[in-house]
Amino acid sequence: MLAFVPGATPAKWVRVWKDRMPRVPIELRPASADEALQSLLTGESTVALLREPFDHARLSAIPLYEEVAVVVAPKDHPIAAFEELSIADLDDENVLDGDPRDAVELVAANVGVAVMPQSVARLHSRKDVVARALLDAPSTLICLVWLENGTTDLVEEFIGIVRGRTANSSRGAVAPPVEKPAPKKSQNRPAKQRRR
């Protein structure tokens, strides 16, 4: 099972898995950060896509990509006039914390603004709010994570997929065997000699 946090998008890797490993089903489990981490630690999930920070104890992780931060504001807020802002631009704003879904609801009700990864803002987008890039806000990192002692051939195969290895890569642990072309039949022609 692959657990993944809100905003993470495993679809492209799952498609490759299904093409490459049609007899090995992969089950997806959207989960909060705490639930995804717990499902790994209990063995319910084999791998997970987690957002930093998380406790790395007993885990192996590969950084996959960084997400930019955005500020989510009501559509009629002055922030909507800008394409990008800095953290200093939010000094006079009520910046909301907590669950992103709840924060976006509060933003839509004109209670304040919220800062979150762009993928999370996209996930919870609404017509009555806007998201604008925060240029100097720290980015967040999405990682592929698994138990240190849980590195199986199938986990290695999934790691290969997210790293972009082809099915014929020699590093693929359970990749299908590569068929070698049959040797060409000789047509009794003398081999050409190279000029020296």
d(CA 142, CA 145): 9
Band of pLDDT at residue 94, cut at 50, 70 and 90: very high
Position 194 pLDDT exceeds 80: no
Helices marked H in 26-142? 33-41, 100-108, 118-123
pLDDT of residue 167: 78
- Containing H/E element for 171? none
The 10s digit of each residue's pLDDT in 160-172 is 999 988 877 645 4
Q: Specify the CATH architecture of the domain 69-134.
A: 3-Layer(aba) Sandwich (3.40)
pLDDT of 187 over the 60 cut: no
Q: Torsion-angle region of residue 157: left (phi > 0), alpha (psi -120 to 50) or beta?
A: alpha
Residue 190 pLDDT > 60? no
Residue-level pLDDT at 33: 92
Query: CA of 49: how far to CAs of 20, 70, 80, 93, 140, in Å?
Result: 20, 21, 31, 32, 13
**Contact partners, residue 68, CB within 8 Å, separation at least 6:** 117, 118, 133, 134, 137, 139
| CA–CA distance, 172 with 19 (Å, rounded to integer) | 14
Distance from C-alpha of 15 to C-alpha of 11, rounded to nearest angstrom: 6
Is pLDDT above 80 for 177? no
Domain made up of 2-65+140-162: CATH architecture: 3-Layer(aba) Sandwich (3.40)
pLDDT value of residue 171: 52
Model confidence at 64, in pLDDT bands (50, 70, 90)? Answer: very high
Write the pLDDT tens digit of every residue in 124-174. Answer: 999 999 999 999 999 999 999 999 999 999 999 999 999 988 877 645 444
Backbone angles phi and psi of 61, in degrees to 5: -145, 145
Q: What H or E segment, with its residue span, contains residue 192?
A: none
pTM: predicted TM-score of the whole model, two decimal places: 0.79
CATH 3.40.190.10 positions along the chain are: 2-65+140-162, 69-134
